Structure 1
Amino acid sequence: MLDAFGKCRPRPDQQLAIETGLYPYFRPITERLENGEVVIGGHAVLMAGSNDYLDLSQDPRLKAAAADAIGRHGAGNSGSRLLNGSLRLHEDLEAELADFLGKEAALVVSTGYQANLALAALFTPDDVVYTDQLIHASLVDATRLGRARVVRYRHNDMAHLERLLEEDGTGQGRLILSEGMFSAEGDLCDVPGAVRLSRAHGARLILDSAHDAGLLGAGGTGAAEHFGQQGAVDLQTLTFSKCFGTLGGAIAGPGHVIDYLRHHGRPAVFSASLPAGCLAAARAALHIIRTEPERRLRVLAAAAKLRADLTALGLPTAPGITPAIALQVGDTLMCLRLCKELLAEGIYTNAMVPPAVPGGKALVRLSLTAAHTDANLARIVDACAAAGRRLGLIPARPGHTVAASVLTP
């Protein structure tokens, strides 16, 4: 008889990583230090794997706002928004987010994952959803939870998407679903191309701005604004766990669509609401995002410098402009080895292996924040050079020029 729990045993590659000491996940952080370091396994290492791009999670203003809200409203709301879990803080944040993003309305939910899952209510049997091949797991799950037909197009390939739209003669509703900034390699959606095709084929465009809201664009609203297309996006989701430095998520768009999701988005309707502390922290973060653009300018400058330095070393670095920098290793075992070697050099990074990325596309992701200094960047470069040489990823004596500082005098 087949054991229903048999599937729960570690995969051979996972078991091998555990047995060889290469398993890089679920490492507990015991302390956060003020110089950008964290303590893992009793050792202080430089954090270069956090999505706290604007360095707001430790900002005293967010902590104070959260503490004050907890003092007034408690640690949790013990109910859904629909019933007893709505606070005035929810409504205030929703109004501010809608104004920030230039949308009619917004709905605040408990996580960014939940914000994307709630989109499933829009995916009915009368619809077709065209999705980028590399959308986040939360968006994939939303399409599975919905009942629409799903058509996948090659990553950022607008010509392929156009062919699919032209070949599909259905009279059903059409939606194009993508990320604004893709989480693995940090590359951006071809928003102008997606906007052009959505308009030409009567499709609605939905962007997940989890990683780019707060980071990109003149006003910080995300990848669409970066391309001058913010007003052309029909629906935008975001999370508070990256640039906003706390927990939570939101959906913003036309008022009638948001009201529909408020009543029919089951993952949001049937979940406990976001606690006051997170709401207050998110509002404080939004104020900082709108009034301190130098934070995103700083982290983008740091990313440009580090990407140039790593490329000069000869490491296989994915091109881009964002603070998520991918070292494209390819082989899963080599990726895990590089991650371990970097940790031994005192740098904490993220190993991205299948199924999080396609087979043969394993990578080590470095994530920068506004707190990283020139000295931090030099430390990362030195660690990558040492680890890369040990593993044969770069020549033993590479001739390279480190980019001049763009961060500090």
Structure 2
Amino acid sequence: MSLFDKFQKNAVLYNALSEAGRNPFTVQMDEILGPTRAIVKGKEIVLAGTNNYLGLTFREEVVSAAQAAVAEQGAGTTGSRFANGTYASHKALERALAAFLGFSRCIVFSTGYQANLGAISALAAPGKDVIFIDADCHACIYDGCQLSGAETVRFRHNSPEDLDRRLSRLDGDEKYAGMGKLVCIEGMYSMFGDVAPAKEFLDVARRHGAYLFVDEAHSFGVYGESGRGVVEAQGVIDEIDFYSGTFSKSLVSIGGFVASNHPELDYLRFSARPYMFTASPSPANVAAATAALQCIAAEPDLRKRVWANARRVHEAFTQLGLETCAPPGPVIAVKLPDRETAFAAWSFLIDKGVYVNLAIPPGTPNAASILRLSVSAAHTNDDLDIVIDAYGAMAETFAQARVTA
């Protein structure tokens, strides 16, 4: 048996993407012109699939901070946080994030993926704890559950009622007496852009003596009066147990973090393997995230702009008769009838000068085929005109193709 036999199913899908004319795994941004424009194969396109929600990638303060950090501290740390990789800037960013969020403690990880992987795998243990996970959670949360070795129970997406039923069954089973319970949800889900009923989940978790872990990777900086995420918008940020986030969206860098008011959070520093055995974030990444955080805290207009843009695009798509997956928000996903149509529509949009994300089964909830657009505060009216016109042409073209077929 070959090691590569197991890839045959994925190979069929990969080859189908290539045969469709373009493969999203090979699309290359030849030149980045700004937060919302790039050159792809000699053509300027509007970037509408970057998660650059607040548009800070080219902000002078952010770029200057990263440049200065490289000049003063070097290109990398060459060590883990446990070894030589904890710099004063890492600790300063942890304090700044904790203060911004209103938590007493924060740990910075090398990526957002590792933040969830490390925290969840360290918080739960086999035979001692049970993890309850929303069915639509990100892969890094699933992988954290697997790495922990703890029993994992999935509940229906955004259903506090289903979580309640599953916790109730566990409460009545002597096998689980005295075991810890951790519930994992996201604030805004990255594929469809739908939002969790965090308050209802918190109520259920508390009734059953469970801890609540909320991943705000895509909602940090965008939701809430001060940009502290869905849990702030729903008034429960002071009550949840663990808050995780990433630097690769609104904070326009690379890295991640977990914050909490539990003093025991610091135990993760010598219990989370992805923290202990990975080189720490580079000085440039830390400096960029720190500067971006300062922009978020000082400029509420950034959130106002992204929401104004999101409402405009969502309303336009609705008028075009497109099927959106969630109410207006920074992620606007349009559902298409099948994978082949999604391939063709995604490629059509690139030809029209618009780059969005192609998302297809098995990487999507409910085996949906979608075009995923992420709105930015940096998108101008001209950018959005191009996006809306391209989607309008796509809707007309593929509607005609279905009629012809």
Q: Structure 1 length normalisation: TM-score?
A: 0.93
1:130 matches 2:105: no
Asked whether 1:5 is paired with 2:4, we answer yes
- 2:286 corresponds to 1:274: no
Gap change, CA 1:200 and 1:393, over 3 Å in 2: farther
CA–CA distance in structure 2, aligned partners of residues 88 and 362 of structure 1: 45
Secondary structure (helix, strand or coil) at the match of 1:45 reads strand
Within 2, Cα distance between the matches of 1:20 and 1:288?
42
- Counterpart CA distance in 2 for 1:384 and 1:264 is 48
Distance (Å, rounded) in 2 between the aligned partners of 1:13 and 1:35: 31
Farther off after superposition, 9-18 or 255-264: 9-18
| AA partner of residue 264 (structure 1) | S
Correspondence for 2:211 = 204
Aligned to 2:306: 299
Residue 365 of structure 2 corresponds to residue 364 of structure 1? no
Which residue of structure 2 aligns with residue 401 of structure 1?
Answer: none
- Does the 8 Å CA contact 1:317/1:325 hold for their aligned counterparts? yes
Q: Is the 8 A contact 1:247 1:278 kept in 2?
A: yes
Aligned pairs for 1:322-337 within 5 A: 322-337=329-344
Cα distance in 1, alignment partners of residues 35 and 272 from structure 2: 42
The secondary structure found in structure 2 opposite 1:231 is coil
What is aligned with 2:67?
A: 67
Amino acid at match of 2:6: K
Q: Is the 8 A contact 1:211 1:242 kept in 2?
A: yes
**Partner of residue 122, structure 2:** 121
Letter in 1 for 2:122: A
Q: 1:102 to 1:26 in 2, by over 3 A?
A: farther
Alignment of 1:45-56 (within 5 A): 45-56=45-56
Structure with greater proportional helix content: 2
CA contact (8 A) 2:69 2:287 kept: yes
What letter matches 2:272 in structure 1? G
Given that 1:109 and 1:250 are in contact with CA atoms closer than 8 Å, whether structure 2 keeps it comes out as: yes
Give 1:141's match in structure 2, choosing from 140, 143, 152. 143
Q: Which residue type is aligned with residue 125 of structure 2?
A: T
1:118 maps to amino acid: G
Q: Tell me the CA shift for residue 319 of structure 1.
A: 2.6
Identical pairs, percent:
36
Moved over 3 A (4+): 393-396
1:291-346 CA-to-partner distances (Å, cap 9, x unmatched) read: 00100111011101110110011011123232110001141111111101111111
Gaps in structure 2 of 5+ consecutive residues = none
Q: 1:69 to 1:393 in 2, by over 3 A?
A: farther
Aligned match for 2:170, one of 168, 171, 182 = 168
Q: How does 1:72-221 map onto structure 2 within 5 Å? A: 72-119=72-119, 120-125=121-126, 126-169=128-171, 170-171=176-177, 172-221=179-228
The match for 1:247 among 249, 254, 257 is 254
CA offsets, 1:347-398, max 9 Å, x none?
00100112220353111001111111222222111100111111118999xx
Change (3 A) 1:395 1:382: farther
Cα distance between partner residues in 2 of 1:332 and 1:23: 13
Deviations 1:150-177 (A, max 9, x none): 1101110111111111111232111110
- State the Cα deviation string for residues 4-32 of structure 1 (Å, max 9, x = none): 12224553232122123142233111111
Deviation at 1:35, TM superposition (A): 7.7
Q: CA offsets per residue over residues 88-113 of structure 1, 9 Å max, x none?
A: 00110001111111111101111000
Residues 299, 395 of structure 1: alpha-carbon distance in 2 compared, 3 angstrom cutoff:
farther
The residue type paired with residue 336 of structure 2 is: V
Q: Secondary structure at the match of 2:238?
A: helix
Say if 1:394 and 1:298 are closer, same or farther in 2 by CA, change over 3 A.
farther
Letter aligned with residue 155 of structure 2: Y
Calculate the aligned-residue CA RMSD, in Å: 1.6
The change in CA–CA distance for 1:287 and 1:5 in structure 2 (over 3 A counts) is same
Measure, in 1, the Cα distance between the counterparts of 2:31 and 2:331.
23
AA aligned opposite 1:36: T
Does residue 312 (structure 1) correspond to residue 311 (structure 2)? The answer is no
CA distance in 2, matches of 1:33, 1:24: 20
How far, CA to CA, are the matches of 2:229 and 2:277 in structure 1? 29
Matched residues, number: 395
Verify the 8 A CA contact 2:31 2:38 in the aligned structure 1. yes
2:389 aligned residue: 382
Alpha carbons 1:316, 1:327 under 8 Å: kept: yes
> Aligned AA for 1:131?
I
Letter in 2 for 1:258: L
